[in-house]
């Protein structure tokens, strides 16, 4: 007697698209740092141990292109740059909170 197969729905395009962005190395760390108050490049670099300046710059550009981070040049001497999460980027906060809560749960 054969068993009926369980059917599952295909992964929706929206989930795959978001996962493709967030699965890139360092993306979630950068978002976490921004949620925690990092604004300047040096603050992100301090908050994220092990990330190279080149990679941090690339990932911030990725997040800016995805509409999650906005880059603002502040006219000062010398000019400074700040990175802030957009409203869309801040909506990822509950996902990061859920990940932290999940990691704190005892295994088994």
94 alpha-carbon distance from chain centroid: 12
Residue 5 pLDDT > 70, yes or no?
no
Residue 90 pLDDT > 90, yes or no?
yes
Residue 2 pLDDT level (bands cut at 50, 70, 90): low
Domain ranges of the chain: 13-104
Residue 58 pLDDT > 90, yes or no?
yes
pLDDT at position 28, please? 95
pLDDT at position 66, please? 95
Compute CA distances 6 → 3, 13, 16, 33, 46, whole Å: 9, 21, 22, 41, 48
Determine contact, residues 44/60, Cβ cutoff 8 Å.
Answer: yes
pTM for the model stands at 0.84
Of 1.10.10.10, 3.30.1490.20, 3.40.50.1010, 1.10.150.570, which CATH number belongs to 13-104?
1.10.10.10
The token pair at 26 is 């360092």
What is the three-state SS of 18-36?
HHHHHCCCCHHHHHHHHHC
Residue 40 pLDDT > 80, yes or no?
yes
pLDDT at position 4, please? 58
What phi, psi does 87 have (nearest 5°)? -60, -40
């Amino acid at each position: 007697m054969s068993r009926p197969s369980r059917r599952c729905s295909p992964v929706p395009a929206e989930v795959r698209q978001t996962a493709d962005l967030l699965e890139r190395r360092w993306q979630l760390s950068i978002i976490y740092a921004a949620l925690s108050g990092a604004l300047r490049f040096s603050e992100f670099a301090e908050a994220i141990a092990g990330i190279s300046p080149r990679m941090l710059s690339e990932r911030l550009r990725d997040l800016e292109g995805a509409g999650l981070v906005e880059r603002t040049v502040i006219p000062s001497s010398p000019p400074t740059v700040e990175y802030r999460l957009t409203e869309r980027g801040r909506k990822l906060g509950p996902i990061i909170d859920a990940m932290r809560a999940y990691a704190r749960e005892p295994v088994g």
